[in-house]
Structure 1
């Protein structure tokens, strides 16, 4: 049984937060050479009604598979900017079954900043 995407389900979300992976992204040569951990948060707007009705993972975003695909991006081809990395991650999210919108935050807590700080992050929102 497939439910239509309707106004009743516009608030449905699947979130994957705190996904850590080691990558070699950054503007500076030492970042590209030594690498560092990045953390990804992905919040997907998706109608969960079909999966709720069928109780079948095939009718929703399989968050285990999504996590693996996001890690592949982070550990893959280096980029200079978090903005570029976030864009690539958002494309992966939007390719998921029934995903209407993706909010992706990329955290770089070890960014080369000569001051005490907790985190640097970029958040983007993309829709189909």
Structure 2
């Protein structure tokens, strides 16, 4: 059975690149346009991994991570932040919020797949 990954980003082109990369490796991908949409979709269908941008309208990535981590179904699900933010302070905030890892855009598809394979059980 294919693992389901939720890709959350307000940039349609980034979502499409992430989805194309992951689907090419057999993953099922659900797309969300911002943190609020991502949270709604994660509550509607259990996923195995979440990839999220940080800077988005309505709800940013870290706020979504915090909201997911209080839900019993998402306490241990890997959540990767995929963003242009690369400061140590932002990464530290990500860890504090419960993010599993941090990837900086623009992303290398091979590196993305390597990290996804590493964190998915």
Question: Shared fold (TM-score greater than 0.5)?
Answer: no
Greater Rg over alpha carbons, structure: 1
Task: Compare relative contact order (CA 8 Å, sep 6+) and give the higher one, 1 or 2.
Answer: 1
TM-score with structure 1 length normalisation? 0.30
Q: Please give the TM-score of this superposition, normalised by the length of structure 2.
A: 0.31
